[in-house]
Amino acid sequence: MHRIELNLESGETRRINTTPYQVGGNLVLIDEGLPVPPGAEAPPQQDLNIVPQVVTRRQALLALLAAGKLDQIELLIQSAPRAVQIAWEAAGTFERDNPLIATLAPQLGLTDQDVDNLFIEAAKL
C-alpha cells in the first residue's frame, strides 16, 4: 500500500510506501522505515477476488477507463433522462446492486460476471 503526500507550498506530491497494521482494533498505515507500534498486528489478508459491494467514483471511473468502457458509458449517460444523469454525476460511490448498474451493464455489452470483475479491479485502484 501507499499514500500520497502533498506539499502545499510547492504543489509537489510524493508517494510513500506503507504497511497496514491493526492497533487496538483500528487499521493504521505505518510509513515504510518507521518503527511498528507496540501491540501492532498484521491485519488478516483479504481475498482480492471477493466482489466489493461499493467502490468510490474515482475507482469506478478508472476501472471503466482501463476496460475501455468509459467513453461508451459517458455517451449513454448524455442521452439518458435527466434524473439518470444527475444520479450518475452526483454519485460519490457506486453500489454493485444499484439498479442503474444493472440497467447500464447490458447496454455496454457487460455480463454480470464482467461487472463483478470491474468492481474487483476498481477496488484495487
Count the Cβ atoms, other than its own, within 10 Å of residue 24: 8
Instruction: Specify burial of residue 122 (Cβ count, 10 A radius: 0-12, 13-18, 19+).
Output: buried
> Number of helices and strands (H, E) in the chain?
5, 5
- pLDDT of 8 strictly over 70: yes
User: Taking residues 8-24, what's their average pLDDT?
Assistant: 86
In a domain, 26, yes or no: yes
- Residue from 1, 118, 114, 2 nearest 60 by CA: 118
In a domain, 6, yes or no: yes
Whether residue 23 is found in the same domain as residue 61: no
Domain that holds residue 21: 2-31
Q: How many domains does the chain have?
A: 2
Whether residue 64 is found in the same domain as residue 109: yes
DSSP 38-54: TT-BPPPPP-TTSPPSE
> Please, which pLDDT band fits residue 36 given cuts at 50, 70 and 90?
confident
pLDDT digits (tens, 9 = 90+) for 83-118: 999 999 999 999 999 999 999 999 999 999 999 999
pLDDT digits (tens, 9 = 90+) for 65-85: 999 999 999 999 999 999 999
Whether residue 114 is found in the same domain as residue 81: yes
Whether residue 64 is found in the same domain as residue 115: yes
Question: Cα 90–91–93 angle (5° rounding)?
Answer: 160
Q: What is the mean pLDDT of the chain?
A: 89
pTM exceeds 0.85 for this model: no
